[in-house]
Amino acid sequence: MRAIHVGILLSYDYKYLPTCLSCIYDYADKITLAIDKNRLTWNGEKYEFDESFLQKVLDKDTAHKISIYEDDFAIPNLTTMQCDCRERKLLYEFMGSSDLDAWHIQIDSDEYFIDFRGFVNCLHDIEKSYTGNITVMPKLVTIFRKVENGIIIAEDTNSVFFPVASIGGCRFNPAKDEIKLKVPFIVLHQSWGRDETEIRFKIENWGHNRDFDTNAYFEFWRSVNQYNAPYIHDCHPLGKKSGWNKLIYKQGEIENIIEELQSDNSPIGFNKSLIRQAKRNRAIQTLKESTIGKRLIPIVKYVLRKR
């Protein structure tokens, strides 16, 4: 079986790491924490960091799985999104997953795996059926806001799946010939579930800070509570097509929500038909990107419209 290598990005939200680690530690073979050596965001802004934090994490690493990777991840002439992709690629190379027979998994410190054991078992089932480059995509569930006595979750009618586990590439840096496989596992994203100071800092320094009016969206976010949430729809900051069709209030703390999601999602066996469908999707995409496909597809669409 392939080893399970997990890379975790740390930044100003490092305090969420203990929850993240508690979800994956027992079933990972190797864990690497990546953090900017100058404690800068991708936007080049300095953030406060408790320098004793990393040592405390290592002190609890009884199985000696965790290592620290510090580098210069804030490049002034790159956009925040370019810095994001660059850091993930450097982390992938640092962990040596391109040279080893391993699954490379990338998550952020505020992303919490639901049933990581089941997900790992699923990866091992996949590798029995497919040996090429691949990215496996679980479902992302986003926390929109923490409110009194609970949290508000942003729900997507069309489930959002995002790249997490790869062979041959890594998150946002895929192998060119990979297939993409969606699997019914969940990652709970702390995301917008923070206090106002953190959210203000987040939207000014994350990878999408230039993609929407951050001030206007911040004021909208502040106005949402457990009472008006059911009446709000299609509220993703990047537009309606990005999801978040409705908001749902759940009572309890993050740990309670993780337990609830864990109990609601029993282990799921791998279906080999998913590989066949992923191969077909890849073949269709390759055709669309080819010279012949670019010439042929518009003609086919035109003929179909005429019928």
Average pLDDT across the chain, whole number: 88
Are the CB atoms for 138 and 161 separated by under 8 Å?
Answer: yes
**46 DSSP assignment:** B
How far CA 20 is from CA of 12, 95, 112, 158, 161, in Å, comes to 15, 19, 5, 25, 19
Q: H/E/C letters for each residue in 263-277?
A: HHCCCCCCCCHHHHH
Cα distance between residue 163 and residue 137, in whole Å = 5
Give which of 69, 61, 111, 67 is closest to 88, Cα–Cα.
Answer: 69
Q: Does CATH number 3.90.550 belong to domain 3-270? A: yes
pLDDT tens digit string along 151-165?
Answer: 999 988 777 899 999
Cα distance between residue 49 and residue 13, in whole Å = 9
Are the CB atoms for 65 and 28 separated by under 8 Å?
Answer: yes
Give which of 86, 243, 118, 94 is closest to 184, Cα–Cα.
Answer: 118
Are the CB atoms for 27 and 117 separated by under 8 Å?
Answer: yes
Residue 307 pLDDT > 60: no
Give which of 235, 241, 230, 233 is closest to 216, Cα–Cα.
Answer: 235
How far CA 246 is from CA of 89, 140, 242, in Å, comes to 34, 15, 12
pTM score above 0.85: yes
pLDDT at 237: 86
Domain ranges of the chain: 3-270, 272-307
**245 DSSP assignment:** -
> What confidence tier does 98 reach under pLDDT thresholds 50, 70, 90?
low
> What confidence tier does 303 reach under pLDDT thresholds 50, 70, 90?
low
Angle CA 142–144–147, to nearest 5: 130
Residue 306 pLDDT > 60: no
pLDDT tens digit string along 191-233?
Answer: 999 999 989 888 877 666 677 888 888 999 999 999 999 999 9
Are the CB atoms for 201 and 167 separated by under 8 Å?
Answer: no
> What confidence tier does 90 reach under pLDDT thresholds 50, 70, 90?
very high
Top mean-pLDDT range of 16-25, 123-132, 265-274: 16-25
pLDDT tens digit string along 238-291?
Answer: 876 667 889 999 999 888 888 888 877 666 667 777 787 787 787 777 767 667
How far CA 252 is from CA of 94, 148, 249, 283, 302, in Å, comes to 38, 9, 10, 45, 53
pLDDT at 241: 65
> What confidence tier does 305 reach under pLDDT thresholds 50, 70, 90?
low
Are the CB atoms for 126 and 133 separated by under 8 Å?
Answer: no
